[in-house]
Amino acid sequence: AQSVTQPDIHITVSEGASLELRCNYSYGATPYLFWYVQSPGQGLQLLLKYFSGDTLVQGIKGFEAEFKRSQSSFNLRKPSVHWSDAAEYFCAVGSLGQGGKLIFGQGTELSVKP
Amino acid sequence: ETGVTQTPRHLVMGMTNKKSLKCEQHLGHNAMYWYKQSAKKPLELMFVYNFKEQTENNSVPSRFSPECPNSSHLFLHLHTLQPEDSALYLCASSQAGTVQGSGYTFGSGTRLTVV
């Protein structure tokens, strides 16, 4: 079955500390992978996406993610977290053959301590 | 401005009311989606439209009725809702079938409260 797992429901980090949010997927076809961020009461904003090529992708707001096929993972990282990064983060997977449909993980809520 | 506009932003309705949510995209995308996001729950895909045709209905109750008159507009008609239908309803669009167009652009959502 196709699925996306974000093992951490809630993470708290100190401002200025590094961040890694985990994402594992199970997908039969060649996956396209995405990370989205959602501020309270808002829609989801695309942070970055991976289709092919370089497995380390850069996104907006200083985020990056690394695709590791052997581990079926696409973890999101940021070297130094800012208080404004507090939000919910969603990993998603899709492919060309699914009519554009994405499968989302359950999300990871990030809190940032001053 | 995300390119996908949802109206209204907030809606309070009684269980006997009929209301509609509207979604509009000016991105030239060919696919549109409705998602339900309840507190502390994963995103739930409700409906998928490709080129104005409904291609997926994830066992959504009939009190939710989608309409896609053209590739730029998507509606969700609501009637006889239940309190548990209170949630954030998100619309998204994508250019399905292309690599670079894959991935959604979301609207800001409609916060629905059923009283």
Of A42, A52, A105, the CB nearest to B109: A42
Collapsing DSSP to helix, strand or coil, A71 comes out as: helix
Q: How many CB atoms lie within 10 A of CB A100?
A: 28
Residue B80 is given by DSSP the state S
Min CA distance, B43 vs chain A (Å)?
A: 7
| Dihedral of the alpha carbons of A67, A68, A72, A74, in degrees to the nearest 10 | -30
Token pair of A23 as six digits: 């994402």
Do the beta carbons of residue B44 and residue B90 sit within 8 Å?
no
Mean pLDDT on A12-28: 95
Tell me: pLDDT of B2 over 70: no
DSSP of A24-53, one letter per residue? EEE-SS--EEEEEEE-TTS-EEEEEEE-SS
pLDDT in tens, B38-61: 987 888 999 999 888 888 888 999
pLDDT of residue A71: 94
pLDDT of residue B99: 67
pLDDT in tens, A48-104: 999 888 899 999 999 999 999 999 999 999 999 999 999 999 999 987 665 668 889
Contact criterion met (CB < 8 Å) for B97 and A96 = yes
Collapsing DSSP to helix, strand or coil, B105 comes out as: strand
- Chain A interface includes B71 (CB < 8 A): no
Contact criterion met (CB < 8 Å) for A46 and B103 = yes
Strand partners, A101: none
Which band of pLDDT confidence, cut at 50, 70 and 90, is reported for residue B101? low
Q: Any residues with CB less than 8 A from the CB of A41 and at least 6 apart, and which?
A: B88, B109, B111
Side-chain half-sphere exposure of A28, counting CA atoms within 13 A: 4
